[in-house]
Amino acid sequence: AQTVTQSQPEMSVQEAETVTLSCTYDTSESDYYLFWYKQPPSRQMILVIRQEAYKQQNATENRFSVNFQKAAKSFSLKISDSQLGDAAMYFCAYRSANYGGSQGNLIFGKGTKLSVKP
Amino acid sequence: NAGVMQNPRHLVRRRGQEARLRCSPMKGHSHVYWYRQLPEEGLKFMVYLQKENIIDESGMPKERFSAEFPKEGPSILRIQQVVRGDSAAYFCASSPGASSYNEQFFGPGTRLTVL
């Protein structure tokens, strides 16, 4: 079974600085998707960024980028120019690329609580 | 296009009562996933449904929990004879298709408190 591990329960960053959140996963599959979700105090789950495992190029979305190391099964999130609105829980998630059935659900890590200091 | 809607947002039940949580997927989406988030935890998959069919309920507790997604109306997650350990946030997500390429869009969640 696949597992996702986030080893940093809490992180803190100064406003305008850069922070990196870590995520490792375990799988025997070769094709899958990886995601970072943001959960602010409102509890709404917001997709931040996604990465297809077959793509070597790291995904980027504005101030958010990932460092995807497939061999090491590592998927870290870098937030540049941190803003107060970035403060939230961040969850790393895995999803198999096998078509349909039980492979469609997301497997989440326990999350990292990010604080942003003004 | 309205997003995924869940109601109620907050639900309080006493031990032994029933809880019904509703999820209306995004327009055009016929696939619904339910997840549970216990305090200080990530979301855990419970059940995956398509219209009128349960596709995967491997994450659902064997007793007291059931889910449906009728041809008309919202998807319902039903918890019978609730216990304190059922207190959690319950999220549903909808998707336009079965392909794992399709993004899952999350609702705002229902926070269930069992007294």
The whole-number mean pLDDT for each consecutive block of 10 residues of chain A, a chain of 118 residues, reads 94 97 94 94 91 92 96 97 97 82 78 96
pLDDT for residue A56:
87
Which pLDDT value is given to residue B1?
56
Interface test with B, best of A105, A106, A113 (most B CBs within 10 A): A105
Beta-bridge partners for B42: none
Q: What is the pLDDT of residue A100?
A: 52
Chain A residues touching B31 at Cβ < 8 A: 104
CA nearest to B107, candidates A43, A41, A87, A100: A43
Cβ of A43 within 8 Å of Cβ of B109? The answer is: yes
Q: What mean pLDDT is predicted for residues B1-7?
A: 86
Q: Is B2 a residue whose pLDDT tops 80?
A: no
Instruction: Give CA–CA dist B66/B81, Å, rounded.
Output: 12
The two structure tokens encoding residue A89: 């829980």
Give the tokens for residue A38. Answer: 């943001």
Provide the shortest C-alpha distance from residue A43 to chain B (in Å).
7
- Per-residue pLDDT reduced to its tens digit, B62-71: 999 999 999 9
Q: Kindly tell me if the per-residue pLDDT of B41 is higher than 90.
A: no
Q: How many CB atoms lie within 10 A of CB A13?
A: 19
Instruction: Return the number of CB contacts < 8 Å for A and B.
Output: 71
Residues 46-105, chain B, touching A (beta carbon < 8 A):
48, 55-56, 58-59, 89, 91, 93, 95, 98-101, 103-104
Coil, strand, or helix at residue B86? helix
For residue B34, pLDDT over 70 is answered with yes
| Tens digit of each residue's pLDDT (9 = 90 or more) over B52-109 | 899 999 999 999 999 999 999 999 999 999 999 999 999 999 988 766 667 889 999 9
